[in-house]
Amino acid sequence: MASGRIRNNVRTLRFHRSEMTQQELAEKVGVTRQTVIAIEGDKYSPSLEVAFRIAHAFGVPLEEVFHYESSEP
């Protein structure tokens, strides 16, 4: 099975949205602040639905927020 990691730019996107706080993003997306922290730290990969909601909160396409890093050469 192919292995890899899902990385994200949530922290950077928050910074470019006038330093949107983690709590503000959490409320917009409908998750807890701890989940936003876990996503930013690449410790948790959200469901497709939450991923789309995060992208929608920033007003950007999904691939600008999340990208897949394959460990295979």
Sites of contact with other proteins (CB under 8 A): 30-35, 38, 41, 43-44, 46-47, 50
Single-letter amino acid code for the residue at 67: H
Distance, in Å, from the CA atom of 38 to the CA atom of 60, rounded to the nearest integer, reads 21
- Comparing CB distances to other proteins, the nearer of 18 and 43 is 43
What is the C-alpha separation between 68 and 4, in angstroms, rounded? 7
CB of 73 to other proteins, least distance (A): 28
- At 33, list the tokens: 């602040």
Q: Minimum distance from CB of 31 to other proteins (Å)?
A: 4
CB of 25 to other proteins, least distance (A): 13
